[in-house]
Amino acid sequence: MKEDIPMYIDQPIRHFMDKLASKSPEPGGGSVAALTGALGAGLVSMVGSLTLGKEKYKDVQPQIEQLLKESEKLRSEMQDLIQKDTEAYGALSGVYKMPKNTDEEKAARTAKMQEALKIACQVPFEIGLKSLEIAKLAQRAADIGNIGAVSDAGVAVLLAQACAQSAALNVKINVNSIKDEAYNKATWTRMQDVLKQVAALEKTVMETTYKKMG
């Protein structure tokens, strides 16, 4: 299955867009959430890159190096998650096609389905957790980064928030079909906590951004 799905990251943006707009169910909202998060991390890296080695910001160089290291790691992970969401969806679609003629087949299909649903849920859950990390980095970028790029730190936190909320929607879809109530409760509670933290960071970073822009 994995071999059939193209690596979107290595294809033209136009191709991703056209496929997204088509009736093909993938790429869908989960992949778009990851791409949005990757764009947010990329903007944090941009603010970092525009601060690195600048005399005016010499006092924060070690922090900027650390920021860049973290934002580039998150960007890479988010870029991978674009594909992982598509793969998890592909695996789930495969299970939907399993035979269900006999009780045995039905039981096997149900078990596999629950397994595939948890994987499909885990991907947007991870995207959500990482969006919180990106929002935290956006705050640091707005606080100590090149003031000339502060609006980019602002856009980064807005994307982190859209990413978190989009990830939550995709967690919710799967949770609705998963029968493991303890898993559902733990996952959804954590997701809600992430949304709350990201929303608070968004508010703070936007205030900083508008204030610094003057």
| Chain contacts with its own copies (rule: CB under 8 A) | 8-14, 16-17, 20-23, 25, 28-29, 32-33, 35-36, 38-39, 41-43, 45-46, 49-50, 52, 71-72, 75, 79, 82, 149, 151-152, 154-155, 158-159, 161-162, 165-166, 169-170, 172-173, 176, 206, 209-210, 213-214
* Contact of 38 with 79, CB cutoff 8 Å: yes
Cβ neighbours of 17 (radius 10 Å): 11
Instruction: Give the nearer residue to its own copies in terms of CB position, either 16 or 118.
Output: 16
* Contact of 144 with 60, CB cutoff 8 Å: yes
Is the C-alpha dihedral spanning 22, 26, 32, 35 positive or negative?
negative
Q: From the CB of 172, what's the least distance to its own copies, in Å? A: 6
Region of residue 110 (left: phi > 0; alpha: psi -120 to 50; beta: else): alpha
List CB contacts of 80: < 8 A, sequence separation 6 or more.
none
- Alpha carbon distance 26, 34 (integer Å): 13
Tokens matching residue 181: 């109530």
Instruction: Give the nearer residue to its own copies in terms of CB position, either 108 or 119.
Output: 119
Q: From the CB of 102, what's the least distance to its own copies, in Å? A: 27
- CA distances 213 to 108, 111, 154, 206, Å, are 59, 55, 10, 10
As a residue count, the chain comes to: 214
- Alpha carbon distance 122, 162 (integer Å): 18
Instruction: Give the nearer residue to its own copies in terms of CB position, either 136 or 157.
Output: 157
Q: From the CB of 113, what's the least distance to its own copies, in Å? A: 16
Instruction: Give the nearer residue to its own copies in terms of CB position, either 108 or 143.
Output: 143
Q: From the CB of 20, what's the least distance to its own copies, in Å? A: 4
Q: From the CB of 26, what's the least distance to its own copies, in Å? A: 10
Q: From the CB of 39, what's the least distance to its own copies, in Å? A: 5
Instruction: Give the nearer residue to its own copies in terms of CB position, either 51 or 118.
Output: 51
Instruction: Give the nearer residue to its own copies in terms of CB position, either 25 or 105.
Output: 25
